[in-house]
Amino acid sequence: MNRATLLIHTADRRGLLAGISGFFTERQLNILECRQYTDTRTERYFMRIEADMAGMTRTRLETEFGALAKELGLEYSVYYSGERPNMAIMVSRASHCLYDLLINIEGGALNCKVPLIVSNHPELEVVAQRFRVPFYCFPIASPEAKLEQEKQVLEIFRKHNIDLIVLARYMQILSNDFISHYPGRIINIHHAFLPAFQGGNPYERAWEYGVKMIGATAHYATAELDEGPIIEQDVERITHESTPNDLKEIGRDIERRVLTRAVRAHLEHRVITSGRRTVVFSR
């Protein structure tokens, strides 16, 4: 089945559901799924609608829905079934998130292609080889060399037509210029329950504070460190007996599942960003 998925948001008002769903009904397009949410505090309306494209070309859909969007003041994006985006994975030395992503891609749970894995260290090349994914190492010899390294990475991403970048414990802060090339298309995993313990060594700081829960957060990368819109989070309880190493061990399991869930939500077009927040529709 040839499907189209539309993510829509606009100022809330009466008649939106009827107007949007009526567009598909009038063209005899079967609506397969429709989810909606109204944020009453900000008076914003959000919708995810999936329709069977039988008898409708992409050009016609985009032209005619574009006219409706202009009339109703809708912000929207449209995606089509059968498309497999190119996803680049960036890593440093930790392998747990990388393994989980690659296993889920191999098993079909994540609908994407991975043309390459990029790292600033060589250690994880062996993992890439096991999954037959090209591996590129771009070391950062000094802080002054970082911008040049990013230029090399961006160039290889352009060559491979990368649609989405996943920072699977890539332990470098990306420059604002790098992030500006992929707005809303870089997903990072932070090993803490944001907004607590931003920046480095969160497990050590969590232990120092004596917290009783630790977590992980997957979010879109923005110019502000660890401030991007949150896609997915999870936590585990700990006790006073837990050492910093225990926290890191427990945290690795949280990190991998949170990152994979966030990537899946993005690939399934279930995420709408609204300022600092996201609306994530369930499957």
Please give the positions annotated as active site.
226
Helices (H), 210-243: none
DSSP 242-273: --HHHHHHHHHHHHHHHHHHHHHHHHTT-EEE
Q: Rounded to an integer, what distance in angstroms lies between the CA atom of residue 71 and that of residue 15?
A: 13
Contact (CB, 8 A) for 266 and 257: no
Residue type at 237 in one-letter notation: R
Q: Which residue has the tokens 């802080």?
A: 143
Residue pair 236/213 in contact by the 8 Å Cβ criterion: yes
- Which residues contact residue 31 at a Cβ distance below 8 angstroms, ignoring those fewer than 6 apart? 21, 24, 25, 49, 50, 51
